[in-house]
Amino acid sequence: MSTVELTTENFDEVIGGADDKNFVFIDFWAGWCGPCVRFAPVYEQAAERHSDIVFAKVDTEAQRELAAAFDIQSIPTLAIIRDGTLVFSQAGALPAPVLEDLIGKARELDMDEVRAKVAAEKAEQQ
């Protein structure tokens, strides 16, 4: 499966609701960004190898609203959403072996535990 261009128009459809069992990687990038351009083939190859995961790309120049919603401060930034919950966000281009390791760790997450932790953090903030 190739990557999907993520926009404000298709965001809900691609990401799905909080109840969906979606697994989405998002690459925030821009055409003028050298590290973004070098990371693109690594990301595309991972998308081909892991067809059960949605690999999306957000052009931060064209989709400023989405970049702002994710508080993107530098690019490339990789974000992971599982079951409607943001479970990872980090700036920087990753080498292929590190991206593969990250995919494996994201697959192993206990989402019940993640949701409980998020709920506890929200309760503390209130």
- Catalytic residue numbers, as ranges: 33, 36
| 24 close to 11: Cβ distance less than 8 angstroms | no
Q: Is 65 exposed, middle or buried (0-12, 13-18, 19+ CB in 10 A)?
A: exposed
At residue 11's C-alpha, the angle toward residues 10 and 12, to 5°, is 95
No. of H helices and E strands in the chain?
A: 5, 5
